[in-house]
Amino acid sequence: MNRTFHLRLCWIAAGLLTAFALGSCALIDERQKDCPEEMSLTCTVNLVSNKEEEMNDKLGTLHDLPLRAALEDYLSDVFVSSTRDVDMLFYDQRKRGKMTFRESEVMDAEQRVFSLQVPASDYRVAGVSNLTAVPVLSLQDEEDGYALALVHKTSRSVVPSHPSAVYAARQRMLVRDRGDQTFGIQFHMANAAAALALNCDSCEVRNLRATFTGLADSFRILDSAYSFDQHIVMEADVIDARPYVDDSEEAERFIYDTFWERWTKLPLMVCTVGFPSPNVGSAVIGTYPIVWTIELYVTLADGSTTRSDIYIGRPLEAGRLMIIKGWLTENGGFMATPPHPPYVPPPPVDPDQPADSTVVGVSVVLNWNNAGNYNPYL
């Protein structure tokens, strides 16, 4: 009897010890999941830009050097293959995409390797770089990866041009509880630049102002998608090329004589840096889509102001530069073709397309404050 009782006690004790051991292992495994794992993360700036090609195509002659130098200087912090700082946000897919880890580092290079201690889990990682150099932008909904976005934080109706490039990255990282893992993440430019060069031979310009509309208002990093829900008006900066002319007397009457055009005054230029445009237009002129618009305000010597709405049919893509060249008439209106002979654009390859399909239409308002409107080029 006693022997049977002792055997039963032994079996019960063995069962309790086994259960305790298994429970202890489970607790140890659970703790290990929250323990940081050593990982190596290589951050790389991947700049894919057409800047040099666009400069060579639109401002590639010897006589274009002052304009080109001025624009290069204006964009000196934009199309660069290095970045100052990086901010990386780790969103745990096992916790409904909530941010559970964040790392901010100084980079100051095109590529740099960081050693991080990250708890083991399945992450979607969002990265943003150079955000401190663009004070008009900020991160919104940082705790929720599904809503995380780069947004314009200004309350002004007109947003100033971005002074620098801003880069974004996304990457899935499955961090295992074994340590010594290596990951890489690539940062791509999230904004773009557009410039408008103006031949002003036919008029005396007292003041110039331009805004760009139809560009994106925000960028969802993990979706790699731009939003156009809000009406964003980007202010363009006027670029003064006179300091880039060697002889100050020539700055007043600088001769441009190329196959395409003849400029007898130093042209004017405006430029903005912002988010890109949509890939397709939401409106059309004839059969040509309007993707985004430049609103140009020219104040002449007599004090009158002419407004030109310039309809652009070509998308402005992230990481790209677009230079548009045009002419001002004697009334200050914009034209995409020379206003007088003998400078005639070459015939288009496709006879059904305009010579420059970038500008698909212009609407001009003379004496802008008093209305009055006509269309010189459609």
For residue 361, the one-letter residue type is: G
Residue 298 has a pLDDT of 94
The contacts of residue 234 (CB under 8 Å, 6+ apart) are 158, 159, 160, 161, 211, 212, 213, 215, 272, 274
CA separation for the pair 132, 366 (Å, rounded): 42
Spell out the domain ranges in the chain. Answer: 36-46+80-189, 51-78+192-377
Percent of the chain residues topping a pLDDT of 90: 50
DSSP 142-173: TTBTTT-EEEE---SSEEPPPSS--EEEEEEE
Specify the pLDDT at position 264.
58
Mean of per-residue pLDDT scores for the chain: 81
Using CA atoms, how far residue 1 sits from 5, 10, 15, 121, in Å, is 6, 14, 21, 54
Residue 100 has pLDDT above 60, yes or no: yes
Mean pLDDT, rounded, for 125-141: 94
Query: pLDDT tens for residues 257-284?
Result: 443 345 557 788 999 999 999 998 777 7
| pTM of this structure | 0.81
175 near 118, Cβ under 8 Å?
Answer: yes
pLDDT tens-place string over residues 192-203: 999 999 988 888
pLDDT at 240 > cutoff 80: yes
36-46+80-189 carries CATH number 3.40.190.10: no
